[in-house]
Structure 1
Amino acid sequence: MNHRYIATGLFTASLALSLPAVAMSEQAFQARAAEVFKPLMEKYDVPGLAVGLTWKGKHYVYTQGMADRAAAIAVDSDTLFELGSLSKTFNVTLAALAQQRSLLSLDDPVAKHIPELGKRPFGALSLMDLATHHSSGLPLQPPDEAKDDASLMVWLKQWQPLAGRGHERAYSNVSIGMLGRISAQAFGQPYAQALHNSVLQPLALQHTYVDVPATQMKHYAYGYARETNAAIRVNPGMLDAEAYGLKSDIDDMLRFVDINLGAVAIPEQLSAAIQATHQGVTRTSEFTQAMIWERYPWPVSRERLLAGNAPALALESQPASRLSTREISEQGVLFSKTGSTNGFGGYVAFIPDEEIGLVLLANRNVPLEPRVDAAFTLLQQVLKGER
C-alpha cells in the first residue's frame, strides 16, 4: 500500500477527500486474481500462469501452478514463457526505430529493400502494409514449401493477393516476419542481434530473448499441448524469431507495458518509435489496426473486445480501410494484443487514460476469447475501485 496517502487524525476530512486514490493492497490483488484466473486454469487445465498488473505506478504479480509438471517446478516471477505473437510488438518497435534513424521509411515499398521482388505484388506492398497486416491474402504461416530463404523468396515472387479484394487485413507471420528481416537488414545485423542491441538492451529488458541462454534454461517453462498434453517448446521455423520467437518473464513484460504507457524514461528515439507503433493506420470492423497493436475505444464493451479477438480475425482475410490520417491520440484507447504458440498463450492490454496495464502469460494455449475475457474482467474489477 502507498503509505503516503494513509489518513491520520492530523488530516481534516476535506483534505482527506482531496487526496489521490491509493493503489489497492497486495492482498486484495492476490484474492481478486485468484478469483478470476483459478476457474480459467481449471476449465482449460492450465499448468501454470503469471499475471502482472501495473496500475498508477505500482506492480502486482500473481503466479500459480507449474512451469514444469514432471519436475514439479512452480511458476514464479522468473519463469520464462513463450510470447508467441506478442513478439510482433517488439518487431515493429525495431522497424519504427529504423525509421527514426532514417535507415528506412515505413512508406517504402518492399522492393526498395528486396530488389528481386520488384514488379511483384509482394514487392509493391509497403513496409507499413507489412506492419499492419494490410496485404489481402497472405497466409498466417509461411507455406510448407518455404523451407529456407531461397524457397521462401521463390514463393514470395509467385504470391498473388486475393483478386478484386483490395488490401484487406490478413493476419500473417509472413508479413511481419519479412518486416523484421528488412528492419534488421537496415541495421546491418541478423534479426536477433539487431533486436537485442537496439531495442531489448536499451529498454533494460534483461530477461527477454530470442534464444534462451544456457544459464537461463532452468527458468524456461514447458508448454503443454492442447491435444496430447505433452510437454513442448516452440520448434524452429521460417521467420520464427521475427514473428513469434521471443521468451520473457512477467517482470520484463510489465516493464514493457510501463514503457508503452510512457511511465518509464527511455532513449528519445526509442520513445518516438514506441509512440509510432501506437498510431492507428487502418480500420477494421472491431478495432483500429496500429503497428501490430489493436486499438479499441475506451471504455469498450466486453462483446466488442471479444469479437475483435475471435479466431476469424487471425485466420481469415477481413475488410479493412486505410485511414486518411493516422489516429495519433492515445486518449480514450485500450491497446490489445494476444500471443500464442502450440504450448503457450499470452495477452497484453493497457489503457493510458487509466495508467493501467495487464500481462497474462500461461503455459497452455487457452482459446483467445476466454483468455481475453478473464484479463478484461480483472481490469474492470480493479478500475471499479473494489479494494
Structure 2
Amino acid sequence: MPYEALTEFVGATAKEFGIPGAAVGVWMDGREVYACHGVTSIDNPLPVDKDTLFQLGSATKTFTAVALMRLVADGRVELDAPVRRYVPELVLADERTADEITVLNLLNHTSGLGWNIIVDTGDGDDALASFVAKLAELEMIGEPGARASYSQAAYNLLGRVLENVTGLTYEQAIASLLLEPLGLSNSFFGSADVMTLRFAVGHNADEEGNLAVAKEWRLTRGNNPGGGLASSVADVLAWARFQLGDGLTANGEQLLPAVLLHRMREQTAPLRGSNLGDGFGICWFLREVDGVRTIEHGGSANGQFVELLIVPERNFAVVAMSNAGPDGIAFNRSAVRWALEHYLGVVDKDPEPLPYDEARAREVVGAFENDAMTLTVAIDGAALTIAATIKPEIRAAADFEMPADYEPAALGLLPGDGDEFIVTAGGLRGQRGFFSRDASGAIAAIDLGGRIFNQVPTASA
C-alpha cells in the first residue's frame, strides 16, 4: 500500500483547498493506513492525528440505522410496521400520513417528511421527545413510499423509536447497542466527553474569504440521531470494517445477523441524477463506480465534513475528514477518489456537462425552496449558476450560529432528456441533481443532494 503517496496527497490537497486539518484512513487487504494533516484549530492549534475527534454530521445516521436493525433482529421492531406503533405520541400535519409512515420509510427517506425543523429543544433527556412534539409543523413533500427525499427529521424520529423501545435515551441506546460492543471508545455525543480529548473545530470563510473558527461546535441534542456523533478517523474506519464483515464483533459476538447487515446494502428506493448514489439501501447510499458497487454516507456539521465509502466486494473502505467549509467537501471527495484509483484502480469521474444553451437555461431559472433553504438558479452571462441560502427567517429564529450560504456557482446541464445537471464550481462542485416538470411540462421542482426543493411561484403566477 502506498503509505507515503497517501500522506503526500493529503498534505498537498489540504493546502490546495485551504483546509486547516484533515484525516484520511484506508482499509485494504486486511491492513489500515492513515494520513493526517494540519491542526485542529487555527486559533488553538494541535496536530491532527488518527484519534482526533471530528463531527460526523449525517454519517451518524448509519449508527442510528444499524441500532434499529439490532432491534429488528431481536423482534422488538418491525420494518414494515407503522411508526406510531413505537411512537404513539406522533402528530403530523397530515394525520392519515402519520398513520401510514413505516419504520422502513424513515430509514430509506421515503416517509414524505420534509427535511427538518430548525429548533433547539434543549440538552435535557426530553430533547428528542420535544423535537417529535413539534413535527406537526413540518411540511410534507409527498405520500409515504412515493419517492425518496433526504430527511433529517426522519432520522431524529427514528431516534425516538430507539428511546421508546429500549427505555434508554438515544445516546445511551447507541452506546449499549453499538459503541460499547464494537469497542468504539473514541466516539461520543456529549460535549463534556469530547472536551477532555483532542478534537477538531470547524472553520468557515468570513466576508473577506479568510477562515474563522465556527463558534457553534455541535448540533442541538434533538438532532443527535441524524447528525450528532463525534468520532475519530480510526473509530470510523473500525465502523467500516464491521460493515464489511458478517455482523461479528472483534471478540466473535454476533452483534447483528449477517443477513440483516447485508440487507442494508440492497436497494429499497431509487435515486435519480444524484452524485450520492443510484438508490438507497437501508440508510446507505448505493452507487456503482467504474464497475464496482459501493455503499456510502457523508456528513457535514458547522465547518466540518466527513465522507465514508465502502466497497464490500473488494474488502475496502476509505474515510476522509476535514475541518473547513465549504471546500472540505471537495477535499474529502478528492481524497476518496484518489484512494479508489490508487488502491483499487477504480476511477470515479464527474460527467461532462453540455455547452451552454440559452433556450434550455431560460426554462430552468427560478427560486426553489424546502422548509429551511432556498436554491436560486440564474443566468450569468453565458452560464447557469446556482446559489444555496438558508432562509432569513430560519437564521433569525435560530439561537445558534448556522453555516455560511453557498454563493452562486456554475451549473451545467447534462446530456439526455432527464433535465439532469452538475455543479461545476464553488463549494457545491460535483453535486448532481435534476429538475422535475409538472403535467404541462413546466419546471416545478429541483432535486439536489437527495432533497426536493419546490419552485417558488413568481408574482405573476
TM-score between both structures, scaled by the size of structure 2: 0.65
Describe the SS at the equivalent of 1:270. coil
Task: Identify, as 1 or 2, the structure richer in helix.
Answer: 1
**Separation of aligned partners in 2, 1:85 and 1:370:** 17
Which range moved further: 370-379 or 75-84?
Answer: 370-379
Matching of residue 379 in structure 1 with residue 340 in structure 2: yes
Partner of 1:268 in structure 2? 254
Task: Identify, as 1 or 2, the structure richer in strand.
Answer: 2
Question: CA, structure 1 residues 263+55, in 2 after alignment: closer, same or farther (shift >3 Å)?
Answer: farther
Partner of 1:132 in structure 2? 108
Question: CA, structure 1 residues 231+146, in 2 after alignment: closer, same or farther (shift >3 Å)?
Answer: closer
Partner of 2:374 in structure 1? none
1:154-303 equivalences under 5 Å are 155-157=134-136, 159-162=138-141, 167-214=146-193, 217-227=196-206, 229-237=212-220, 239-262=222-245, 265-266=248-249, 267-272=253-258, 273-285=260-272, 286=274, 287-300=278-291
Aligned amino acid, residue 184 of structure 1: E
Which range moved further: 336-345 or 165-174?
Answer: 165-174
TM-score between both structures, scaled by the size of structure 1: 0.76
Deviations 1:172-219 (A, max 9, x none): 110011011102321111000010011111111111111155486231
Partner of 2:444 in structure 1? none
Which range moved further: 95-104 or 218-227?
Answer: 218-227
Percent of residue pairs bearing the same amino acid type: 22
Aligned residues: 326
Describe the SS at the equivalent of 1:115. coil
For residue 33 of structure 1, report the CA deviation from its aligned partner: 4.1
Contact 1:48 1:362 in 2 (8 A): yes
For residue 264 of structure 1, report the CA deviation from its aligned partner: 7.9
Describe the SS at the equivalent of 1:93. helix
Deviations 1:317-346 (A, max 9, x none): xxxxxxxxxxxxxxx421111111012111
Deviations 1:33-59 (A, max 9, x none): 422x33432343111011000001000
Partner of 2:117 in structure 1? 142
Question: CA, structure 1 residues 355+183, in 2 after alignment: closer, same or farther (shift >3 Å)?
Answer: same
Unmatched runs of 5 consecutive residues or more in structure 2: 347-461
Partner of 2:405 in structure 1? none
**Separation of aligned partners in 1, 2:113 and 2:86:** 21
Deviations 1:277-330 (A, max 9, x none): 323211111512012211112435xxxxxxxxxxxxxxxxxxxxxxxxxxxxxx
Using CA pairs under 8 Å that are at least 6 residues apart, name the structure with larger relative contact order, 1 or 2.
1
**Separation of aligned partners in 2, 1:166 and 1:233:** 35
For residue 235 of structure 1, report the CA deviation from its aligned partner: 3.4
Which range moved further: 129-138 or 119-128?
Answer: 119-128
Which range moved further: 273-282 or 55-64?
Answer: 273-282
Describe the SS at the equivalent of 2:72. helix
Alignment counterpart, residue 3 of structure 2, candidates 7, 29, 46 = 29
**Separation of aligned partners in 2, 1:170 and 1:215:** 32
Question: CA, structure 1 residues 263+43, in 2 after alignment: closer, same or farther (shift >3 Å)?
Answer: farther
Contact 2:81 2:102 in 1 (8 A): yes
Deviations 1:242-262 (A, max 9, x none): 111101111111111111111
Deviations 1:125-159 (A, max 9, x none): 111111111123512x3144978667644542354
Unmatched runs of 5 consecutive residues or more in structure 1: 1-23, 301-331
1:305-320 equivalences under 5 Å are none
**Separation of aligned partners in 2, 1:222 and 1:256:** 22
Partner of 1:58 in structure 2? 31
Describe the SS at the equivalent of 1:358. strand
